[in-house]
Amino acid sequence: MALVKATNKSANAQARAVQQSRPSLSDLAVLLRSNEPALRRQAARDLALMSEGVPVLCEHLEHEPAVSVRSVIMTSLIQSRSRAVVEGLIRYLRSENTALRNEAIEALQDMPAEIAPYMERLLSDPESDVRIFAVNILSVLPAARAPEWLHKVILEDPHVNVCAAAVDCLAEVGTPDSIAALKQLRLRFGDHPFMIFAIDAAIKRIGGSQ
């Protein structure tokens, strides 16, 4: 019996030692502001393993100057796959930092199931640029509702550039049901030659007659 107790005590001591050796959320947050990119990359990986670490990583992105560190953060966030990750990255669709914005778009494209519940909100955003980015995200989502969302865009969105982005997307994912909506769009923007060209090309690619 004594031997069992000693073994249990030893195991418990080892478990406590391992637990104590793990850096805390606050420790990792400090490391994330280190001058050493390697330390920041490791902190990012460790933070991604904590549910509380996701907001810290998302917040840090706009302050991170190193592409390699941002890449690790994005990869870690994609692997985390949660509502918190999506909400943390959506904010960067409004960023003036083009590189960061594109990285956020690419990360969201890699989380189709997680971003899908947010698409209607993004496609109705007051800013046309955000709506365009939403269409760009939608273009690679294997979502059954993608054509439905795009039909709504080309039938209702007032901005020609948003509709042009949706036409390009429909050329890739459209169905025969898309042709009627595309023909209606041609009537709406008949005075835009580039739009007429894009619509006709999309219809042809989908397989319908102009």
CA R_g for the chain: 24
Distance CA 20, CA 30 (A): 17
Q: 139 to each of 29, 60, 111, 114, 144, how far by Cα in Å?
A: 35, 28, 13, 15, 12
Helix, strand counts (H, E) of the chain:
14, 0
The end-to-end CA distance of the chain, in Å, is 87
Whole-number average pLDDT of the chain: 86
Residue 14 is encoded by which pair of tokens?
A: 């080892």
Residues of the chain by 3-state class (helix, strand, coil), percent to 5 = 75, 0, 25
For 124-134, write each residue's pLDDT tens digit: 999 999 999 99
CATH fourth-level superfamily of 18-111: Leucine-rich Repeat Variant (1.25.10.10)
Q: Which two tokens stand for residue 16?
A: 């406590």
pLDDT level of residue 14 (50, 70, 90 thresholds) = very low
pLDDT at 4 over 70: no
Domains 18-111 and 118-210 share a fold: yes
Whole-angstrom distance, CA of residue 88 vs CA of residue 77? 10
pLDDT tens across 168-196, in order? 999 988 888 899 999 999 999 988 999 99
Report the distance separating Cα 197 and Cα 12, nearest Å: 71
Neighbours of 38 (CB within 10 A): 11
CB 162 within 8 A of CB 135: yes
Task: List the chain domain ranges.
Answer: 18-111, 118-210
Pick the CATH number of 118-210 from 1.10.1740, 1.20.1280, 1.10.287, 1.25.10: 1.25.10
Q: How confident is the model at residue 208 (pLDDT cuts 50, 70, 90)?
A: low
- DSSP letter assigned to residue 139: T
- List pLDDT tens digits, range 48-68: 888 889 999 999 999 999 999
